Structures are given as C-alpha cells and as structure tokens.
C-alpha cells in the first residue's frame, strides 16, 4: 500500500500558510481606545452642532455641493437620517441616507468584534481584517448617491423634498 505522507504534509503546509498572524492584545487595546476616543469626540461635536442648529442657536448651513451643482453629495440627508433614526424610524432613515444606518452597523460590527477578541484572548479574531465590509459600504453609499441624483436630474424626483 502506498503511504499518504505527501498529501498530509501538503495539507499541513496549507494550514500553516492560512494561519493568521498573532494578535498583539495590548496594541489592539491601545488602538481601540484611541480610535474610540477620537470618534467619540468627533461625534459629540457633530451632535452638539446639529442640536444647536435644530434649536436655531446656530444658522442652518446648506450643502455647498448641492448649492453649486444642484445635485446631492453622498452626505446629503445624513442629518435627517440621524434624527429619524434616533426617533426609531429606521426605514425613513434609510430613505434619507443609508450611509448613517449602514455606517453605524459597520462600526458596531468592528467594535463588538474587537471587544470580544480583547475579552476572550483565545487567539481568535471575532472581526474580519479584510477590506470588503468598508468597501461594500462605500459602494452602497456611492450607488445610492448616483441613483438619487439620476432621479433628481432625469425625472425631477427630489428624494429629500418630495414625500418628506
């Protein structure tokens, strides 16, 4: 009978190649804290700014891109989407701008995955290091922007003013 040593060693080699790099927990923890601190400060400033605009302490600013080109930028409708999401109107939030809800889901995925990885410390990652989730997010936001501007320019249908 023929021995299968070559087959076993090939599989072992393949598993070694697939093995992920070790997780440096202290560096991951430091990076996670720093990113969360910066994101928290930025979101706090943005939230205070939006609230001050809502109560007419600060003047409402318009989108420069929309003012110049009469088209929507990928961020147009983001403030409405955030406030409708905070009111629990998920579909309305997606209608205004899906970037807010999808971005929140993406951030929560990484936040929870990194937190579980740091908590368990068992050598496994509970989040992906691949680029496809953020790339998919950007593609969805850009496709929505193109479709919204096509409807506006070709058919006169203004998604942010009509039906809202």
Model confidence pLDDT, tens digit, residues 8-33: 455 555 545 456 678 889 998 999 99
Angle between helices 98-120 and 78-86 (to 10 degrees): 60
Report the distance separating Cα 66 and Cα 74, nearest Å.
10
Q: For every residue of 75-141, which 3-state class applies, written as one string?
A: CCCHHHHHHHHHCCCHHHHHHHCHHHHHHHHHHHHHHHHHHHHHHHCCCCCCCCCCCHHHHHHHHHH
In this prediction, residue 10 carries a pLDDT of 55
Report the distance separating Cα 4 and Cα 2, nearest Å.
7
In this prediction, residue 110 carries a pLDDT of 92
Q: What DSSP designation does 152 have?
A: H
- By mean pLDDT, which of 52-61, 114-123, 144-153 is the weakest? 52-61
In this prediction, residue 113 carries a pLDDT of 92
pLDDT higher than threshold 70 for residue 79 = yes
């Amino acid at each position: 009978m023929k021995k299968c040593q070559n087959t076993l060693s090939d599989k072992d080699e393949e598993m070694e190649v697939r093995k992920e790099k070790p997780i440096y927990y202290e560096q991951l923890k430091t990076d996670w804290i720093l990113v969360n601190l910066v994101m928290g400060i930025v979101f706090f400033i943005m939230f205070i700014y939006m609230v001050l605009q809502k109560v007419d302490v600060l003047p409402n600013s318009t989108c420069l891109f929309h003012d110049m080109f009469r088209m929507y930028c990928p961020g147009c409708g983001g403030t409405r989407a955030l406030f409708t999401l905070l009111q629990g109107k998920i579909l309305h939030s997606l209608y205004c701008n899906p970037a807010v809800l999808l971005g929140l889901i993406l951030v929560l995925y990484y936040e929870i995955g990194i937190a579980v990885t740091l908590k368990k410390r068992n050598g496994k990652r509970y989040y992906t290091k691949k680029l496809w989730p953020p790339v998919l997010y950007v593609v969805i936001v850009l496709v929505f922007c193109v479709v919204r501007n096509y409807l506006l320019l070709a058919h006169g249908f203004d998604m942010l003013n009509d039906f809202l």
